[in-house]
């Protein structure tokens, strides 16, 4: 089985603060309790014997840095600004959904994965991802990895960059979280306790 090395670059900017001003934040998706390990539900086991990985078919390692976005809206100033980063060697994929536009014009260098293009990809996960759901972003991650991604910048269509660059942990002057307080096993890091 192929292994893909990919770092997910998470950058939280002023967009979260701006979002909080516009609409109250909801915590309905979190419990606030520590992880207990208690099994809440079971899912059926997925078996893929005899199926060729779609990643083997799609690999084109010409681009190592990818921007991945989902959107149900027409391009915005924020998404057009991300398109400018394709001049700096970034590749840019936007994952559509059924309730979004069929075409996405006016954004430099973007690969727009329409509903039809997503169906043509035949990723195994496609059978399990609901439409009209933010989980569709996984299609963008797989697409980027299949096309050579080593770094993925995961952002939203309403997040604006302060400057026309994306700092990368380990390459740029970016702060590393203090993992000395972490109780996690090696290879797993919850960064949130490190930020005050």
Phi, psi (5° rounding) for residue 115? Answer: -55, -45
Phi, psi (5° rounding) for residue 42? Answer: -110, 150
Beta bridge partners of 99: none
Q: Quick one: pLDDT band at residue 31, thresholds 50, 70, 90? A: low
- pLDDT score at 124: 87
- pLDDT score at 73: 95
pLDDT in tens, 64-108: 999 999 999 999 999 999 999 999 999 999 999 999 999 998 899
pLDDT at 8 over 60: no
- Which residue is listed with tokens 């921007």? 67
Instruction: Please tell me the pTM assigned to this model.
Output: 0.61
Measured distance CA(121)–CA(140) in Å, rounded: 11
Quick one: average pLDDT of 182-190? 60
CA 15 to chain centre: 16
Q: Supply 42's token pair.
A: 């079971």
- pLDDT score at 41: 72
Q: Supply 79's token pair.
A: 């998404």
Q: Return the higher-pLDDT residue of 54 and 176.
A: 176
pLDDT at 17 over 50: no
Cβ of 155: how many Cβ atoms within 10 Å? 23
- pLDDT score at 50: 44
Q: Quick one: pLDDT band at residue 166, thresholds 50, 70, 90? A: confident
């Amino acid at each position: 089985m192929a292994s893909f090395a990919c770092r997910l670059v998470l950058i939280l900017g002023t967009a979260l603060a701006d979002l909080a001003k516009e609409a109250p934040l909801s915590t309905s998706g979190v419990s606030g309790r520590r992880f207990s390990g208690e099994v809440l539900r079971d899912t059926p086991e997925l078996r893929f014997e005899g199926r060729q990985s779609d990643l083997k078919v799609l690999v084109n390692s010409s681009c190592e840095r990818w921007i991945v976005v989902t959107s149900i809206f027409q391009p915005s100033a924020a998404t057009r600004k991300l398109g400018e980063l394709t001049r700096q060697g970034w590749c840019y994929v936007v994952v559509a959904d059924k309730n979004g536009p069929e075409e996405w014009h006016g954004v430099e260098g973007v690969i727009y994965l329409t509903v039809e293009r997503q169906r043509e990809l035949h990723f195994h996960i496609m059978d399990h991802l609901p439409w009209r759901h933010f989980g569709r972003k996984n299609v963008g991650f797989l697409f980027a990895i299949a096309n050579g991604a080593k770094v993925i910048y995961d952002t939203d269509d309403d997040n604006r960059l302060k400057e026309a660059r994306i700092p990368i942990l380990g390459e740029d002057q970016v702060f590393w979280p203090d993992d000395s307080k972490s109780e996690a096993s090696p290879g797993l890091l919850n960064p949130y306790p490190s930020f005050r």
